[in-house]
Amino acid sequence: MDVRRRPANPILREKADAGEQLIKPHKSHQHQQQHPPMKASDALPLPLHLTNGLFFTIFFSVMYFLLSRWREKIRNSIPLHVVTLSELVAVLSLIASVIYLLGFFGIGFVQTLISRPNPDGWDVEDENTEQFLLQEDSRSGTCTTLGCAVPPPPVPSAKGLPKISQPAAKAAMAVEKPAPLITPQDSEEDEEIIKSVVSGKIPSYSLESKLGDCKKAAGIRREALQRITGKSLEGLPLEGFDYESILGQCCEMPVGYVQLPVGIAGPLLLDGREYMVPMATTEGCLVASTNRGCKAIMASGGATSMLLRDGMTRAPVVRFATAKRAAELKFFVEEPMNFETLSVVFNKSSRFARLQSIQCAIAGKNLYMRFSCSTGDAMGMNMVSKGVQNVLDYLQTDFPDMDVIGLSGNFCADKKPAAVNWIEGRGKSVVCEAIIKEEIVKKVLKTEVAALVELNMLKNLTGSAMAGSLGGFNAHASNIVSAVYIATGQDPAQNVESSHCITMMEAVNDGKDLHVSVSMPSIEVGTVGGGTKLASQSACLNLLRVKGANKEEAGANARLLATVVAGSVLAGELSLMSAISAGQLVSSHMKYNRSSKDVTKVAS
């Protein structure tokens, strides 16, 4: 047993005073707290002090009586062993009182030794308990600081709700005490529902349909989640969001929403029009840097963009018994006459879906058919998938031995880095360029044309080649793509291929000015569907004048948005590359990524 002297723990004492049960007390301590130990005196008919007084009186009275009798016998020469009845009773009383008093003082002394509070911090049992808890905590991978022990991760139940034992949930609650959102006083009915969700009687996912009130469903789910996990969701807002707007299309089982700041870069002068670009980000420096790039583009007369291609893709994988049969289907779909027929079948899926091509690739007896189609103002993943399903159903009559393995066979390729997107394009393929004048490079970007050209060659081209990059021949296209995507309700996971970009820089006009361009083959954006219709995202699209479906020309809004994304990337590339070539990268990040109260000073 490790018995070490240690000072009394003020933190533990404080927490114990506050009623927090941080350390499970040793059983005997607990027992003592709840039921103080029985003493012998508890069995006496009179209070202890009265009993003690009585026995002391008897003891001294009897002693006095016997001593006086003893003196009398000596005086009268009576033998001492001749005892009267009264003397006998007195002797017995004396023995009884001596036994009582000896017993009282003896036991009392031992009891005092045992129960005396430990004044100088020798507490062997407590220390062992702490050691045990520390070991438990480290085994379960939780925080090992006493006071923040958390319950083990909940085990998902069959009904989709994590199961956790009630005592564990209670213990966790004692640690963090999340503020209840719905108290029993608010509504007994709500409290019952919360309890049912916690116990798993009501599946969390069914709350919306059961209650018919999305906001209430989110509130109840949130409260149940807090109770189940013992973790507070304070800071994750519930109020101020339209939960009806996401039902069945954007997010399941909501418990709140994450707040993100939206900054504005611009105006971006692109194709003769000015755009204020919304960027949702928590990366300091990003908006400021893109804004500086916009300033340089504006001061140089603006940027120009060209949309090269517009087609969303989906590639199912089908299998045959032989490679020969797979090849026969490949030739069938590539035959122009057949393609016409398949287009009609495909286009039935939507008035906006128009089949453009079917690109085939064979792997043994498996065939991958990459369907590409225009999708109007929608990003188009659902639309193209529906069209592909129609075609597969149709092909099954001519190719009954075709086994459809998957509607998506990863030759599409969605949300994964793939050369096929980089080479063939996916969504909108855009090239955007600008000529930045020499004096703007110097005054606004604080660098030199030659330095930028050299850096671009060695970093974005050679460096990325050395890294074996796939579509990553740029400085930070994904920074701008992600921020604009989140602000405008695009699918942020498509940032993977949407950020494919090659940035080129060249000295022009006798080496004085800078020609800069970004080529982005797979920008996947839409202005209808998905998250674009949510209030905040819709407001950002509105700011760019691309909200919703374009009434005059289907797809014009989505295409315009793609060019704005490319233009913003151009601005971002210019500014970051300039900062790096001027050696300002670290210093500017120190300014913008560190808290500074006076933002106007660092921005100037």
* The dihedral sign for the CA sequence 400, 402, 406, 411: negative
Distances (CA, A) of 495 to 241, 305, 347, 416, 522: 25, 20, 28, 9, 10
Alpha-carbon gap, residue 371 to 355, rounded angstroms: 7
Distance (Å, whole) CA 277 – CA 113: 78
13 residue type, one letter: R
Query: Judged by CB under 6 A, which stretch of 322-330, 358-366, 380-388, 492-500 contacts ligand ADP?
Result: 380-388
Q: Confirm or reject binding of residue 413 to ligand ADP (CB under 6 A).
A: no
Stretch binding ligand ADP (CB under 6 A), from 46-54, 101-109, 162-170, 377-385: 377-385
Q: Is 47 helix (H, G, I), strand (E, B) or coil?
A: coil
Span from 44-52, 378-386, 405-413, 594-602 in contact with ligand ADP (CB under 6 A): 378-386
Minimum Å gap between C-beta 551 and ligand ADP is 8
| C-alpha distances in Å from residue 74, one per residue of 78, 81, 128, 477, 501 | 6, 12, 67, 121, 126
Residue keyed to tokens 């940027």: 303
Least distance (Å) between residue 491 CB and ligand ADP: 9
- The interface region with ligand ADP, picked from 258-266, 463-471, 478-486, 525-533 by CB under 6 A, is 525-533
Q: Which residue has the tokens 């980089």?
A: 422
Q: Report the distance separating Cα 426 and Cα 413, nearest Å.
A: 8
Residue 376 binds ligand ADP, judged by CB under 6 A: yes
On the 0-12 / 13-18 / 19+ scale of CB atoms within 10 A, 250 is middle
Minimum distance, C-beta of residue 221 to ligand ADP, in the bound complex (Å): 25
Nearer to ligand ADP, 224 or 246 (CB): 246
**Is 572 a binder of ligand ADP (CB under 6 A)?**
no
Which residue in the set 194, 279, 379, 455 belongs to the binding site for ligand ADP (CB under 6 A)? Answer: 379
What is the largest distance, in Å, between two alpha-carbon atoms of the chain?
Answer: 152
Rule CB under 6 A: say whether 298 interacts with ligand ADP.
Answer: no
Residues 551/369, Cβ–Cβ less than 8 Å: no
**Residue 217 is encoded by which pair of tokens?**
């469903």
Name the active-site residue from 415, 446, 459, 591. Answer: 415
Helical H runs in 307-356? 323-334, 336-347
Contact segment (CB under 6 A) with ligand ADP among 52-60, 148-156, 356-364, 374-382 equals 374-382
Q: Is 352 in the site for ligand ADP (CB under 6 A)?
A: yes
Of 219 and 489, which has the nearer Cβ to ligand ADP?
489
When binding is defined by CB under 6 A, the residue of 360, 378, 435, 579 that contacts ligand ADP is 378
The residue assigned the tokens 């970093």 is 459
Give the nearest distance from C-beta 355 to ligand ADP in angstroms: 14
Chain residues 73-112 in contact with ligand ADP, contact rule CB under 6 A? none
Footprint of ligand ADP on residues 527-566 (CB under 6 A)?
528-530, 549, 554
C-alpha dist (Å) from residue 449 to 295, 302, 441, 457, 504 = 17, 18, 7, 12, 13
Among 369, 383, 453, 569, the residue binding ligand ADP under the rule CB under 6 A is: 383
The one catalytic residue in 123, 127, 137, 283 is 283
Total chain residues near ligand ADP (CB under 6 A): 17
Does residue 81 have an active-site annotation?
no
Nearer of residues 326 and 541 to ligand ADP, judged by Cβ:
541
Q: Which residues in this chain contact ligand ADP in the complex, by CB under 6 A?
A: 350, 352, 375-383, 526, 528-530, 549, 554
Active-site annotation, residues: 283, 415, 491, 589
